[in-house]
Amino acid sequence: FLMATYSADRSSTVVAAGIKQLFSRVPAWFFKSITYDQGREFFNYKRTDHHFGTASSFRHAGCPGERGLNERTNGLLRQFFPRTRPFRGLGEHETARAVAFITHRPRKKSGDRTTVEKMREDGVFLVSTFV
């Protein structure tokens, strides 16, 4: 039990640090909340909330419909990184390539404009520069 607790706490500390690093490049006005899955790796969500001044919420396990954008994005990322491919050792160049492809492809929802074009129109283009 002690080892499992240590492992979960260590994992959640690593995830919290990663979230802080990723979102530290995002302007504070751009997000007010963070939505998590039910995993133990999000145990330190209160520290993240305190750091960013956000409010966290958790989705129900086994209800992917509650995380529509997340599920859609995962599907797009799986085009580049199949389930059989471990994320450990994944290079920054590979992830940047995948993100660039996804954000620069036309979307029917945006009138066949790319996400980047839509963001420029909405005045939030700087967001695409820190992902």
For 32-82, how does the pLDDT look when each residue is reduced to its tens digit (9 = 90+)? 888 887 778 888 888 889 988 989 888 887 777 777 777 888 888 889 988
| Burial grade of 114 (CB within 10 A; 0-12, 13-18, 19 or more) | middle
- Residue 130, pLDDT > 60, answer no
pTM over 0.95: no
Q: How far apart are CA 64 and CA 76, in angstroms?
A: 15
